[in-house]
Amino acid sequence: MLTTYEVRYARQTALPQIGWLGQEKLATASVVIVGCGGLGTVAAELLARAGVGYLYLVDHDIVEVGNLHRQVLFDEHDLGHRKAIAAAKELRAINSEIVVEPVVARLNSSNASTLLAGSDLVLDGTDNDATRYLINEVCVKQDIPWVFAAVDENYGLVMAIVPGQTPCFSCIFGEPLSLPAVPRSNKGLLGTITYMVAAIQVGLAVRLLLGDDEYAGGLLYVDAWDYRMESMPLTRSPGGCGVCGETKTSRRS
C-alpha cells in the first residue's frame, strides 16, 4: 500500500526527468525566495507543492488590498499582516511535510551574505534592480545558483545564473549604478504574466536542484498579451565582468 508521501508525489515522480531519486533531492533542497510579491508567492507555492524541503521567505512588507489581484498566497484576511509570515502559514497548510521559514527583513548589504548562505538556490521575487545586483554579487561570491525573474505590464524576463557556468546579472545588464531599492515601475501589471514567468522560473529551479546541466540557457522574454516568447543567447561581458570575471573555479564546473 502506498504511503501518503508516495501518493502526493506519484504524478511528479512518474516523470523520467525526476523519479524518486530526484524527489529525494528536492526533499533535501534549500531555497531562499527573496520577495513575497506576485512572482515570489507563485514560485513559493509551486516549490512547496513540488516537495522542496526547505523554503526561506525573505520579505519585510505587509499585505495590502492592491496585492490581491496577483499575489496568490494572500486573501482579505491577511490584510495588514507581514507577507512572509502570512505566506509561510499558507504554504504549511499546502504541504505540512516541508519546512517553511519566514524572514521578516529587507535584503540589504548588511544581511544578504548571512540570509543567502548555505542555500542550494536563490529565487528572485524582487521588484528592483538594486536588490538583484546584491543577490548576484552574493550568489557569485558564495557559488550559489539563482534564477532572475522580472515582470512589468504584460511581459517578463527569466534567466538562470550559475556561477562559473553562465554570464551573471552584471555581465548582461552592466555594472550597477547608484540605484535605490525601490520598485522600478508603477505602471500597470497583468496578473497572468506573474504566473507565467514564475512557473518558468520554478521549472528552471527544479532542473538546477536536480543537477540537470542541460537547463535552458539565455534570457527568455515572455509576453502574456501578444502570446509569444523569445529566447536570447547570452555571453560573458567581453571586457571582463567586475563581479564574476575573476571567478576561477566552481564546485559545479
Domain boundaries, the chain: 14-232
Helix (H, G, I), strand (E, B) or coil at 9: coil
Helix (H, G, I), strand (E, B) or coil at 104: coil
Per-residue model confidence (pLDDT) at position 250? 38
Task: Identify whether the C-beta of residue 72 lies closer than 8 Å to the C-beta of residue 44.
Answer: no
CA 196, distance to chain mean position in Å, is 13
Query: pLDDT tens across 47-106, in order?
Result: 999 999 999 999 999 999 999 999 999 999 999 999 999 999 999 999 999 999 999 999
Which residue positions in the chain have pLDDT lower than 70?
177-186, 216, 237-239, 246-253
Per-residue model confidence (pLDDT) at position 235? 75
Considering the segment(s) 14-232 as one domain, its CATH architecture is: 3-Layer(aba) Sandwich (3.40)
Q: What is the pTM of this model?
A: 0.91
Per-residue model confidence (pLDDT) at position 180? 52
Question: Side chain identity at 208, as an amino acid letter?
Answer: L
Q: CB 44: neighbour CB atoms within 10 A?
A: 31
Bridge partner list, 58: 34, 103
CA 133, distance to chain mean position in Å, is 14
Give the DSSP letter of residue 66: G
Per-residue model confidence (pLDDT) at position 237? 64
Q: Which three cell numbers stand for residue 225?
A: 498579451
List alpha helices for 100-149, DSSP H: 112-116, 129-142
Closest CA relative to residue 24, chosen from 217, 166, 210: 210
